């Protein structure tokens, strides 16, 4: 298996990078959609279940299910293949653990966003646009930690 992974390393790494880019795009955009959802309904003076609300729910569902979920799964799949490739990750170095913890944080954030979508579906969202704007910074911070950990290897 390790020979296969070493031979295919550039392809696995490329697929991992493509998957991460796709996942990050969704992690950046879904909280922004929630901001528009909350503030758009308030500004228009419409309630949950309105045509506007259903349109936002449709966009959020497609983003989460068609882009973010497959991208997260493929990020994990290709990332684990990279971890299993001999000589790629030195688990005695702090950067590897910092990256691993940050990826777990990114996954938690993904799940948090999915839970918020369920609240919108149920008409029970109680968070305002400011809250979602603040939460939109979470993937940025985690991305910076991951990138610097992997490249600088501190």
The dihedral built from the CA positions of residue 64, 22, 144 and 78, taken in this order, carries a sign that is positive
Report whether 133 contacts 34 (CB < 8 A): no
d(CA 15, CA 137): 25
Region 78-92 average pLDDT: 95
Element of type H or E holding 50: none
Whether the predicted pLDDT of 2 surpasses 80: no
The residue count for the chain: 154
The better pLDDT of the pair 8, 42 is held by 8
**Other CB atoms within 10 Å distance of the CB of residue 130:** 11
Q: What percent of the chain has pLDDT over 70?
A: 100
Whether the predicted pLDDT of 27 surpasses 80: yes
Region 10-39 average pLDDT: 97
Q: In this structure, what are the phi and psi dihedrals at residue 87, rounded to the nearest 5 degrees? A: 85, 0
Report whether 48 contacts 41 (CB < 8 A): yes
pLDDT of residue 34: 98
d(CA 122, CA 20): 30
d(CA 40, CA 47): 10
- What are the residue ranges spanned by the domains of the chain? 2-152
Token digits for 111? 């799940």
Whether the predicted pLDDT of 21 surpasses 90: yes
pLDDT of residue 47: 76
pLDDT of residue 10: 96
Region 127-138 average pLDDT: 97
pTM: 0.93
Per-residue pLDDT tens over the stretch 41-53: 888 887 778 999 9
């Amino acid at each position: 298996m390790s020979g296969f992974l070493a031979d295919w390393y550039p392809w696995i790494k490329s697929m991992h990078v493509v998957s991460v880019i796709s996942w990050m795009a969704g992690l950046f955009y879904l909280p922004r959609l929630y901001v528009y959802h909350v503030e758009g309904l308030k500004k228009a003076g419409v309630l949950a279940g309105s045509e506007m609300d259903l349109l936002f729910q449709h966009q959020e569902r497609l983003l989460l299910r068609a882009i973010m979920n497959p991208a997260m799964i493929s990020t994990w799949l290709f990332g684990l293949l990279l971890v299993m490739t001999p000589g790629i990750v030195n688990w005695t170095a702090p950067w590897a653990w910092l990256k691993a913890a940050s990826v777990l944080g990114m996954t938690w954030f993904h799940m948090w966003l999915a839970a918020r979508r369920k609240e919108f579906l149920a008409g029970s969202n109680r968070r305002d646009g400011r809250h979602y704007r603040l939460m939109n910074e979470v993937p940025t911070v985690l991305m910076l930690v991951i990138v610097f950990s992997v490249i600088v290897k501190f």
